[in-house]
């Protein structure tokens, strides 16, 4: 049967009849599936699967291939819906438009799918995460995209990549069309093949889900772990069913997100204002990792720290800005971020200062809206007191402008009232910003183009990239120095608390990744902590500390008499209490860290089988020791769960 409408000039794409068109689309989607296999294969750890044996390898390959079909389902469904809609009519004068619309939808939806999976794989290669709630929040929240620090070259690169994928997918459709043209609309693959492929897909999907459920039941961690390399993989569990049919199911402890209404602080704060209230200057820097506080990179800050209290083993509350700043201002674990955001809850320490009539001005070289600090910790501060520098300026210039504004505020304040000022510095944020006079390390990368950067280039250029970062930290030091000079010259250090710390650290491939927000290794989570308190003798403290200890240290100095447990999970840094463990958090995980181990656990997932355990210094620990470590640390993990729910009014 002739599959074309007759035309004098031969075959024409818009004139293929309905059956030939659908066969053509089937071949096009099959070709796109092969492209998706190629795009996603870098995130699949085939070598590790093979090391665990044939069962794990078969599972991984089967799941990967079947999921590449699943990624295409939205495009296939949408194309089929448009195909059905446009062919309900029978107007013989408009067949060309109908065909073009269907092909256009198929081209655009598959191109966007492949582009998304490419971007997802690139994100995983550079940072160890797939597109998730954090990334979506980054894109959709005001100020989120700006926080990436991409250059104009990066923007151009991204535009060119998008155009390249659109053109490549159009070329693929054109190739399939050309083959159909030469075959006069007949399928160049056996017609039963598509039915066979569908049957194989269904069998593969069922079998890999059964394999996952079986592995979950017997605690076969290799399958559970390697499945995390498959983008957006959702495992199926059937523990109850398998137990009913007589299979011996290994018990696993549950680690679930605690839900309920926020109750923070636990009791109203009782304040006895000190006779001589202290001013507070709070300085937080983006991506300021612990080992950069030294005499060469930060000579001004190092000199200041010699007369203050310096805490050399300080942990942020997590590996990102959101949790890092949140934990330093609240003194509680990062998992409380979402209740704070949902209930628009502010930080208690801000309320304490407002009740004592503090003058307040806060500055950021990023955005108060990303992360949503204007809706959480700074919720109760009037917008007129929240200042953002002109985002058209480079990060180092924004820091300079904000420091000038902060010093102007201090100069013009009412000297009869205490003041609180906060500044968030942007210079050390990737792309790492500094003026020419701040160069102390060479060679350094002139720019970092996120659009073209790949894992191989990153590994090759990580030293020049880190040199760029160190130059930015040196510029940060110069801005800290301006503030130190002003406070000293105006005799304010006798009446002012000064706090210096980073929101989180920054990794430079020490453990396989660049930047932050990917893992809880020390380079991403350790930051400096320097605390100047009038009347306190200087000292260097090597004990474990946390961002969560800052508020418990400040509250008594501000006149709060409540026990610390009413408003924080931390410790007064000047008390006799010594921290033996701390907690870290990000968008979906929590970590327990003590002197021996670091245990990273997912939130909202069933159990601890997908946990990661290393030494406290990030050295790997054999998986066979997990059960023994969990047994020894059971009491501490129970305490972690209790602390994560300490300020939550439990649902009954």
- Residue-wise pLDDT for 30-50, tens only, equals 899 999 999 888 878 888 788
* Closest to 583 measured CA to CA, from 603, 600, 566: 600
Residue-level pLDDT at 539: 97
Lowest mean pLDDT among 3-12, 239-248, 277-286, 384-393: 3-12
Question: 283 and 172 share a domain?
Answer: no
pLDDT at residue 6 tops 50: no
Residue 263 forms part of a structural domain: no
Per the model's pLDDT, the better-predicted residue between 611 and 554 turns out to be: 554
How open is the CA angle 117-123-127, to the nearest 5 degrees? 155
Question: Strand 419-425's sheet: what is its strand order?
Answer: 386-388, 359-364, 419-425, 279-285, 496-502, 529-532, 309-315, 539-546
Supply the angle between the helices 18-40 and 152-182 in degrees, to the nearest 10. Answer: 140
Question: 176 and 282 share a domain?
Answer: no
**φ and ψ at 467, to 5 degrees?**
-60, -40
Non-local CB neighbours of 67 within 8 Å, separated by 6+ positions: 230, 231, 232, 233
Residue-level pLDDT at 330: 97
Q: Tell me the DSSP string of 350-399.
A: HHHHHHTT-EEEEEESS-STTTTGGGTTTTTS-GGGEEE--TTS-HHHHH
**Span 335-355, pLDDT tens digits:** 899 889 888 999 999 999 999
Which of 581, 609, 627 represents a domain boundary (last residue)? 581
pLDDT at residue 494 tops 80: yes
The answer to whether residues 186 and 3 touch, using CB atoms and an 8 Å cutoff, is yes
Residue 537 forms part of a structural domain: yes
Helix (H, G, I), strand (E, B) or coil at 493: coil
Per the model's pLDDT, the better-predicted residue between 602 and 493 turns out to be: 493
Express as a percent the part of the chain with pLDDT over 90: 50
Question: 171 and 316 share a domain?
Answer: no
Q: Tell me the DSSP string of 407-447.
A: HHHHHHS-TTS-EEEEEEE-TTSTT----GGG--S-S--S-
User: Rounded to an integer, what distance in angstroms lies between the CA atom of residue 334 and that of residue 406?
Assistant: 28
Question: 428 and 309 share a domain?
Answer: yes
H helix intervals, 185-228: 192-218, 221-226
Question: 575 and 453 share a domain?
Answer: yes
**φ and ψ at 559, to 5 degrees?**
100, 5
Task: Tell me the CATH number at 518.
Answer: 3.40.720.10
pLDDT at residue 99 tops 50: yes
Q: What's the token pair of residue 287?
A: 């991506």
Residue-level pLDDT at 194: 67
**φ and ψ at 361, to 5 degrees?**
-145, 125
Which of 154, 187, 220 represents a domain boundary (last residue)? 187
Q: What's the token pair of residue 58?
A: 């078969």
Supply the angle between the helices 54-86 and 192-218 in degrees, to the nearest 10. Answer: 130
- Average pLDDT on 578-596 reads 92
Element (H, E) at 119: helix 95-127
pLDDT at residue 14 tops 60: no
As to burial, measured by CB atoms within 10 angstroms (0-12 exposed, 13-18 middle, 19+ buried), residue 516 is buried
User: Rounded to an integer, what distance in angstroms lies between the CA atom of residue 497 and that of residue 628?
Assistant: 45
Chain-centroid distance of CA 415 in Å reads 42
Question: 160 and 297 share a domain?
Answer: no
Question: 142 and 284 share a domain?
Answer: no
**Span 516-559, pLDDT tens digits:** 988 999 999 999 999 999 999 999 999 999 999 999 999 999 99
Residue-level pLDDT at 458: 83
Residue 238 forms part of a structural domain: no
Residue-level pLDDT at 4: 43
pLDDT at residue 391 tops 60: yes
Question: 420 and 565 share a domain?
Answer: yes
Chain-centroid distance of CA 585 in Å reads 10
Q: How many CB atoms lie within 10 A of CB 542?
A: 9
The answer to whether residues 585 and 316 touch, using CB atoms and an 8 Å cutoff, is no
pLDDT at residue 315 tops 90: yes
The reported pTM is 0.75
pLDDT at residue 187 tops 60: no
Whole-number average pLDDT of the chain: 85
Question: 281 and 183 share a domain?
Answer: no
pLDDT category, 407, cuts 50, 70, 90?
very high
The answer to whether the peptide bond before residue 443 is cis (omega within 30 degrees of 0) is: yes
Which of 524, 559, 581 represents a domain boundary (last residue)? 581
Helix (H, G, I), strand (E, B) or coil at 257: coil
Residue-level pLDDT at 133: 60
Residue 114 forms part of a structural domain: yes
**φ and ψ at 571, to 5 degrees?**
-130, 150
Residue-level pLDDT at 473: 98
- Average pLDDT on 487-502 reads 97
pLDDT category, 495, cuts 50, 70, 90?
very high
pLDDT at residue 26 tops 90: no
Q: Which residue has the tokens 């620090």?
A: 149
* Closest to 14 measured CA to CA, from 185, 141, 266, 223: 185
Residue-level pLDDT at 3: 44
Three-state SS annotation for 283-294: EEECCCCHHHCC
How open is the CA angle 34-36-40, to the nearest 5 degrees? 125
Residue 619 forms part of a structural domain: no
The residue range of the domain holding 33 is: 16-187
pLDDT category, 15, cuts 50, 70, 90?
very low
Residue 48 forms part of a structural domain: yes
pLDDT category, 259, cuts 50, 70, 90?
low
Helix (H, G, I), strand (E, B) or coil at 136: helix
Question: 289 and 149 share a domain?
Answer: no
Question: 179 and 289 share a domain?
Answer: no
Per the model's pLDDT, the better-predicted residue between 28 and 623 turns out to be: 28
Lowest mean pLDDT among 63-77, 219-233, 473-487: 219-233
Residue 39 forms part of a structural domain: yes
DSSP 8-class letter at 141: S
Residue 163 forms part of a structural domain: yes
pLDDT category, 140, cuts 50, 70, 90?
low
pLDDT at residue 79 tops 70: yes
Q: How many CB atoms lie within 10 A of CB 277?
A: 18
User: Rounded to an integer, what distance in angstroms lies between the CA atom of residue 523 and that of residue 360?
Assistant: 33
Q: How many domains does the chain have?
A: 2
Residue-level pLDDT at 12: 45
User: Rounded to an integer, what distance in angstroms lies between the CA atom of residue 458 and that of residue 174?
Assistant: 35
Question: 163 and 292 share a domain?
Answer: no
pLDDT at residue 219 tops 70: no
* Closest to 510 measured CA to CA, from 527, 494, 524: 524
- Average pLDDT on 571-596 reads 93
């Amino acid at each position: 049967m002739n599959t074309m409408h007759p035309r004098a000039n031969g075959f024409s794409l818009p004139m293929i009849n309905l059956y030939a068109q659908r066969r053509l689309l089937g071949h096009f989607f099959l070709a796109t599936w092969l492209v998706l296999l190629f795009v996603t294969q870098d995130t699949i750890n085939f070598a590790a699967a093979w090391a665990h044996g044939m069962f794990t390898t078969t599972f991984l390959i089967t799941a990967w291939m079947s999921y590449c079909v699943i990624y295409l389902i939205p495009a296939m469904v949408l194309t089929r819906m448009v195909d059905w809609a446009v062919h309900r009519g029978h107007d013989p004068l408009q067949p060309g438009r109908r065909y073009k619309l269907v092909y256009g939808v198929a081209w655009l939806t598959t191109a966007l799918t492949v582009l998304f999976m490419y971007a997802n794989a690139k994100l995983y290669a550079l940072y160890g995460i797939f597109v998730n709630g954090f990334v979506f929040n980054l894109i959709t929240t005001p100020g989120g995209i700006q926080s990436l620090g991409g250059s104009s070259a990066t923007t151009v690169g991204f535009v060119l990549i998008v155009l390249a994928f659109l053109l490549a997918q159009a070329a693929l459709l054109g190739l399939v069309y050309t083959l159909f043209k030469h075959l006069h609309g007949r399928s160049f693959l056996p017609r039963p093949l598509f039915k066979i492929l569908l049957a194989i897909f269904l069998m593969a999907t069922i079998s890999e889900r059964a394999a996952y459920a079986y592995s979950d039941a017997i605690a076969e961690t290799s399958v559970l772990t390697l499945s995390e390399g498959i983008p957006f993989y959702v495992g199926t569990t059937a523990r109850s069913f398998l137990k009913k049919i007589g299979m011996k199911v290994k018990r696993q402890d549950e680690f679930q997100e605690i839900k309920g209404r926020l109750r923070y602080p636990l009791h109203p704060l009782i304040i006895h204002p000190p006779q001589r209230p202290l001013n507070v200057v709070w300085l937080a820097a983006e991506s300021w990792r612990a080992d950069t506080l030294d005499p060469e990179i930060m000579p001004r800050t190092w000199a200041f720290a010699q007369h203050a209290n310096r805490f050399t083993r300080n942990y942020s509350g997590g590996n990102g800005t959101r949790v890092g700043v949140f934990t330093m201002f609240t003194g509680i674990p990062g998992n409380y971020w979402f209740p704070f955001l949902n209930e628009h809850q502010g930080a208690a320490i801000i309320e304490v200062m407002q009740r004592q009539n503090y003058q307040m001005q806060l500055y950021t070289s990023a955005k108060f809206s990303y992360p949503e600090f204007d809706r959480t910790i700074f919720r109760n501060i009037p917008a007129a007191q929240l200042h953002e520098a002109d985002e058209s300026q480079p990060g180092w210039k924004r820091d300079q402008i904000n420091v000038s504004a902060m010093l102007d505020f201090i100069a013009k304040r009412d000297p009869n009232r205490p003041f609180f000022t906060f500044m968030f510095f942007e210079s050390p944020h990737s792309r790492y910003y500094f003026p020419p006079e701040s160069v102390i390390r060479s060679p350094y990368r002139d720019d970092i183009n996120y659009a073209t950067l790949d894992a191989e280039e990153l590994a090759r250029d990580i030293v020049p990239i880190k040199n760029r970062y160190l130059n930015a930290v040196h510029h940060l030091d110069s801005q800290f120095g301006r503030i130190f000079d002003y406070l000293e010259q105006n005799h304010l250090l006798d009446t002012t608390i000064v706090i210096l710390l980073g929101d989180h650290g920054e990794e430079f491939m020490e453990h396989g990744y660049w930047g932050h927000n990917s893992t809880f290794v020390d380079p991403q989570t350790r930051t400096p902590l320097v605390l100047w308190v009038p009347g306190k003798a200087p000292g260097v403290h090597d004990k474990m500390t946390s961002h969560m200890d800052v508020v418990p240290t400040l509250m008594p100095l501000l006149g709060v008499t409540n026990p610390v447990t009413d408003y924080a999970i931390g410790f007064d840094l000047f008390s006799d209490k010594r921290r033996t463990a701390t907690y870290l958090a990000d968008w979906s995980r929590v970590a327990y860290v003590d002197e021996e181990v670091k245990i990273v656990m997912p939130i909202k997932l069933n159990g601890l089988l997908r946990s990661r355990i290393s030494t406290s210094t990030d050295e790997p620990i054999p998986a066979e020791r997990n059960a023994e470590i969990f047994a020894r640390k059971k009491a501490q993990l129970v305490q972690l769960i209790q602390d994560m729910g300490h300020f939550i009014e439990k649902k009954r």
